[in-house]
Amino acid sequence: MTKKIVTLAGDGIGPEIMAAGLEVLAAVAPKINFDYQVEAKDFGGAAIDRQGHPLPEATLEAAQAADAILLAAIGGPQYNDAAVRPEQGLLALRKALGLFANIRPVQIFPALQHLSPLKSEIIAGVDFVVVRELTGGIYFGEHTLNARDARDINAYTYEEIDRIIRVAFELARDRGKKVTSVDKQNVLATSKLWRLVAEEVAKDYPDVILEHALVDSLAMKMITNPSDFDVIVTENLFGDILSDESSVLPGTLGVMPSASHADNGPSLYEPIHGSAPDIAGLGIANPISMILSVAMMLRESFGEIAGAQYIEHAVDKTLRDGVLTKDLGGQASLSEMTAAIIANL
C-alpha cells in the first residue's frame, strides 16, 4: 500500500534540508520496497506570506489524512513582532493532531565526540531517549497574574500519565529495557500520582526495568553519567528542560532528530534545531537532523527498521569518513553531505 507523507518545508533552511531528506528517502526506498508519495504543503512563515496564516486549512486537512508528517523548520526574525507568528501554526497543528508524546533520541557519533562539552570518557557510548509529555501539565493549566501574586496550575490525570509512560516502556522494550521515570515526588502531588501510575504500568512490562529519579538529581546525572540512561520519561515542564539539556551533549543540534506521536493518526518528525535564517539559501546547512528524522519516520510510523538502520549507518560512516559541514568543523556543502550519505547507503 502506498504511504502518504506530507512535507512541511517551512522557513529559512527548511526547504533545503527537506529536499536533502527526501533525496535520502528516495535512495533508500527501493532497498526496502517502500512505496510512498509526497504531498508538500505551506506551513509556518511561508504560509503566512502566501496565505496569511501559519496553518492553512488545506495544510491541516492534508496532515490529518497523512500516514506521517515531515517538518523541516519554521520561523524568522521578520515575524518577531508580527500579530501572527509561525510558531502559532505548530502549536495549532500539535493540538489538532493530538500529539502528546515527544521523542528525542540522544546519540553520540564517535566522529563528533570531540564536539561535546563533556570529556570523551563520559560521553562515549551515550545513547538514550527523552520522552516528554506534550499536552498536559503546568503549560496547559490555569494561569492567573496580578501585581501582588501569581498562580500556575499543574494538573495531570491518571490516563494522561498512563499513556505517556506506556510509550516509554514500548520504546525501552526495543532498546536497553530500562525506563527512568522522572518526577518531584518528594514535593508535588502530580509527581506522587506520576510515580504511582509508573509502578502500575511497569507490571505490564516485566521484561523492562523501571527506576525513579527526582528531576534535580536527574539533571545532575545527565551530565555526570549520561551513559547510565536508556529511556527517560517525564512530564511536560521537566521534559522541556531535560530535553534541552540533553541536546547539548552531542555538541551540535545539527544531528538531532525528534518525533511527536498521538494516540491515533499520523506522527510528526522534525529536527530539533531552528530555521537558521542567517545561512538560508547558501547551501551550507547541515541536513543530518532532517535525514535522521526521516529514519525515525521509517522506523516508528512504518515499521521499516532496516530502512532506518541503512540511513543511520550511512550517516555514521559519512561522519567517520570526515565529510563534515561547517557547523561540524568541516567544509562540505549541504549537497556534498547529502551525496556522501546516499553513496554510503
Query: Which residues form the catalytic set?
Result: 139, 184, 216, 240, 244
Buried b (16+ CB within 10 A) or exposed e, 68-98: bbbbbbbbbeebeeeeebbebbbeebbeebe
Between CA 294 and CA 288 the distance in angstroms is: 10
- In sequence order, what are the residues at sequence separation of 6 or more whose Cβ sits closer than 8 angstroms to the Cβ of residue 220? none
DSSP codes of every residue in 118-136: S-HHHHTT-EEEEEEE-SS
DSSP, collapsed to helix, strand or coil, labels residue 330 as coil
Between CA 192 and CA 145 the distance in angstroms is: 27
Q: What is the dihedral of CA 221, 224, 226, 229, to 10 degrees?
A: -40
Between CA 2 and CA 221 the distance in angstroms is: 44
Between CA 107 and CA 124 the distance in angstroms is: 10
Residues in the chain: 345
